[in-house]
């Protein structure tokens, strides 16, 4: 166990009468809520739900930032279901996650320092070999397997926490999520709008930590989570026509992939627009990034369409939000970085807006509600007038064309 790990969540005075010591009732309430209710809302698969309920809680008993993150997500869940005490549970959740983040970031900083020291020592012992272009070893490389697993879980819990973050009502009755990154509209579209929220970029950190675990993943405590995610990833390809062509990139950014579902027609129009953009003409690598994102999005939208058809015969068929998040995971280190900064790439914003159709499909989950509408609205504000017509389909799916938006 990491030396930075502190398992103390509630302190007792060893000199006092144990019978008189107060119980940590809030923490017990939050843990009870997580193990009885919250865990079942984090996944559609029963095995993954049990993973959150049993394995993660067990890990949390020996890792303070995992336990505090678990309790923080539970607090926001209670805030959602108990409007009369929303402010109280929200404040407790924020406090718990803030403390968890400090502990986790301290561990990351120590690992980074150790990795940098090891890298410098190796460089100094290499004689005249030229290592001038070598960068310090990334922080995760300095982590033990146990710490990498714990930080991966922390990053995933942080994604849930960020998605469920407090929301303040807007004048039109919708909600804006507190804590999203503020900044100007990148494309000159809306001006003074918030850019995409921080959780959009969190999966890249989780992905890098999973890479540290690597092939050992199925042999770690993460096995149920990673195995199920891999199974869903392969299922989306096995169930899609011409999936192999999508994966090897032979379609190109402007070509159809051969998937004939109803959801593919608007996506084909987007492919043509992206292929004809000046940015792609000037940068072939950028074109491959967009092609990969669109290919993966087509697979995910195909899964959405099959799910809707299944629901026609079985209204109780479960929707698995992991199918949507797999797309974000797949492009977290390629397309997603293009959404950052004061001027996000217009083509990337348009593609990301189409991902929000998947989020809308899964909005029955409490921690996703409101996000699709909010993100497409943000995309509209970020896009310039020339690119706004590119997101006509997501705008229609959200009902935004009936709310005074102009598709110029």
This prediction's pTM: 0.77
User: Roughly what angle, to the nearest 10 degrees, separates helices 264-275 and 346-361?
Assistant: 170
Judged by phi (left if over 0) then psi (alpha if -120 to 50, else beta), residue 168 lies in beta
Checking 177-180 for CB contacts under 8 A at 24+ apart, the result is 177/370, 177/371, 177/374
Q: Report the alpha-carbon distance of residue 209 to residue 211 in Å, rounded.
A: 5
Give the residue ranges of the chain where pLDDT is below 70: 1-20, 115-142, 166-195, 204-205, 209-219, 236, 238-264, 305-318, 402-408
The reported pLDDT for the residue numbered 137 is 32
Quick check: 354 and 393 in contact, CB under 8 A? yes
**Other C-beta atoms within 10 Å of 134: how many?**
12
Residue 224 included in any domain:
no
Residue 137 included in any domain:
no
The reported pLDDT for the residue numbered 78 is 98
Residue 215 included in any domain:
no
Q: Report the alpha-carbon distance of residue 219 to residue 222 in Å, rounded.
A: 8
**Other C-beta atoms within 10 Å of 192: how many?**
9
SS3 call for 61: coil
Q: Report the alpha-carbon distance of residue 27 to residue 60 in Å, rounded.
A: 13
Nearest to 395, CA basis, from 367, 343, 360, 344? 360
Residue 70 included in any domain:
no
Nearest to 101, CA basis, from 198, 31, 13, 229? 198
Residue 197 included in any domain:
no
The reported pLDDT for the residue numbered 83 is 94
The dihedral through the CA atoms of 344, 347, 349, 355 has a sign that is negative
Residue 180 included in any domain:
no
Residue 286 included in any domain:
yes
Nearest to 93, CA basis, from 279, 367, 371? 367
Nearest to 212, CA basis, from 160, 147, 158, 157? 147
The reported pLDDT for the residue numbered 185 is 38
Q: Find the helix or strand (DSSP H, E) in which 177 lies.
A: strand 175-177
Q: Report the alpha-carbon distance of residue 153 to residue 208 in Å, rounded.
A: 12
- Token pair, residue 280, equals 């792609």
The reported pLDDT for the residue numbered 222 is 81
Residue 161 included in any domain:
no
Which burial class, exposed, middle or buried, applies to 168 when counting CB atoms under 10 A from its CB (0-12, 13-18, 19+)? exposed
**Other C-beta atoms within 10 Å of 185: how many?**
21
Domain range enclosing 396: 239-402
C-alpha neighbours within 13 Å on the C-beta side of residue 188: 4
Q: Report the alpha-carbon distance of residue 245 to residue 294 in Å, rounded.
A: 13
Quick check: 282 and 233 in contact, CB under 8 A? no
The set of residues, in sequence order, having a beta carbon less than 8 Å from that of 10 and lying 6+ positions away, is 24, 27
Domain count, the chain: 1
SS3 call for 127: coil
């Amino acid at each position: 166990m990491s030396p930075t790990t502190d398992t103390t969540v509630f302190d007792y005075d060893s000199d006092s009468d144990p019978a008189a010591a107060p119980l940590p009732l809030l923490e017990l309430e939050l843990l009870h809520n997580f193990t009885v209710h919250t865990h079942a809302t984090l996944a559609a698969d029963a095995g993954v739900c049990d993973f959150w309920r049993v394995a993660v809680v067990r890990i949390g008993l020996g890792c303070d930032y995992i336990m505090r993150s678990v309790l923080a997500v539970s607090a926001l869940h209670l805030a959602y279901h108990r409007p009369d005490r929303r402010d109280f549970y929200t404040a407790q959740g924020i406090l718990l996650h803030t403390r968890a983040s400090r502990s986790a970031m301290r561990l990351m900083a120590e690992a980074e320092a150790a990795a940098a020291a090891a890298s410098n020592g190796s460089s100094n012992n290499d004689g005249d070999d030229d290592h001038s272009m070598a960068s310090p070893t990334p922080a995760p490389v300095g982590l033990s397997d146990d710490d990498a697993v714990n930080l991966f879980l922390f990053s995933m819990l942080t994604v849930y926490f960020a998605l469920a973050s407090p929301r303040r009502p807007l004048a039109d009755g919708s909600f804006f999520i507190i804590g999203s990154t503020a900044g100007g509209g990148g494309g000159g579209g809306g001006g003074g709008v918030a850019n995409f929220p921080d959780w959009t970029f969190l999966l890249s950190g989780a992905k890098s930590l999973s890479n540290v675990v690597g092939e050992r993943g199925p042999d770690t405590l993460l096995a149920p989570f990673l195995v199920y995610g891999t199974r869903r990833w392969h299922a989306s390809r096995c169930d899609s026509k011409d999936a192999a062509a999508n994966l090897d990139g032979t379609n190109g950014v402007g070509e159809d992939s051969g998937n004939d579902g109803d959801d593919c027609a608007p996506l084909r129009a987007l492919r043509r627009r992206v292929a004809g953009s000046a940015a792609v003409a000037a940068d072939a690598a950028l074109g491959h990034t967009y092609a990969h994102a669109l290919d993966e999005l087509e697979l995910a939208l195909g899964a959405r369409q099959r799910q809707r058809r299944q629901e026609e015969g079985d209204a109780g068929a479960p929707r698995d939000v992991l199918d949507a998040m797999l797309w974000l995971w797949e492009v977290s280190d390629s397309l997603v970085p293009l959404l950052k900064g004061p001027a996000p790439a217009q083509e990337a914003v348009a593609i990301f807006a189409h991902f929000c159709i998947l989020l809308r499909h899964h909005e029955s989950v409490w921690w996703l509600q409101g996000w699709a509408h909010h993100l497409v609205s943000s995309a509209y504000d970020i896009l310039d007038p020339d690119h706004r017509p590119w997101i006509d389909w997501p705008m229609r799916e959200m009902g935004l064309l009936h709310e005074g938006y102009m598709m110029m």
